[in-house]
Structure 1
Amino acid sequence: MPKGYWIVRVDVTDPEQYQHYVAANAAAFSKYGARFLVRAGRSETMEGEARGRNVVLEFADYDTALACWKSPEYQHAIAQRVGACVIDLLVIEGYDGAQPA
């Protein structure tokens, strides 16, 4: 079964308030087994529009990734970031099929 992922792009506008979100999201991430693959490391935007911070989270599967976003724990975290950032967040199913030869 393919893994599930969150692909997140964020521009933080209020770093102090955003830290409340970071503290609050840990409960949901722990409960749903999220694993950071990318967490605001160096990046270059080769095409399209950039955001200041990029994150990729891995989950056991798509349903778990979606359940985490919909969970009361994560909804509480979302309330903590209101007014602190502009965010694009995509929940997506991974691919485990054949690769190009």
Structure 2
Amino acid sequence: MKQGYIIARIDVHDAETYAKYTAQSPIVAAQFGGEFIVRGGQCEQAEGAGRARQVVIRFPSYARAVEFYQSPEYQAILPLALAGSNRELVIVEGA
């Protein structure tokens, strides 16, 4: 079975609100087998427009990644992320 990934590119504009989200998101992701493999950290924008923060979460399958995103638990904390940042987020199947 191929793994699933959530890839997010983020600019935080309200650190206090966004911190409330980041305190809870790993707990919710873990309920679906999610593991953060990239969470901020040093990065270099090599091509195109970029964002300040990058996040990659690995799941056991694409379906589990979708289940995480659509879950009531994640949807309950999502407004914190949206209020505290501008971002793009995709759910992809691994190779």
Gaps of at least 5 residues in structure 1 are 96-101
**2:29 is paired with a residue of what secondary structure?**
helix
Residue of structure 2 in register with 1:30 after alignment? 30
Q: TM-score, normalised by structure 2?
A: 0.93
1:62-91 Cα shifts (integer Å, max 9, x gaps):
000000000001101102223210011100
CA contact (8 A) 1:27 1:73 kept: no
**C-alpha distance in 1 between matches for 2:28 and 2:12:** 20
Larger deviation: 24-33 or 66-75?
Answer: 24-33
Identity of aligned residues (%): 37
1:26 deviates by 3.1
Q: Specify the SS of the correspondent of 1:50.
A: coil
Which has the larger share of helix?
2
How far has the Cα of 1:23 moved from its partner? Answer: 2.1
Match runs of 1:59-70 below 5 Å: 59-70=59-70
CA RMSD for the aligned pairs?
1.0
Assess, with a 3 A threshold, how the Cα gap between structure 1 residues 6 and 41 changes in structure 2: closer, same or farther.
same
Runs of 4+ off more than 3 Å:
none
Q: How much has 1:39 moved relative to structure 2?
A: 1.1
What is the alpha-carbon distance in structure 2 between the residues aligned to residue 77 and residue 83 of structure 1? 10
Amino acid at match of 2:57: L
Gaps of 5+ in 2: none
Residue in 2 aligned with 1:5? 5
Q: Which has the larger radius of gyration?
A: 1
TM-score (normalised: structure 1): 0.88
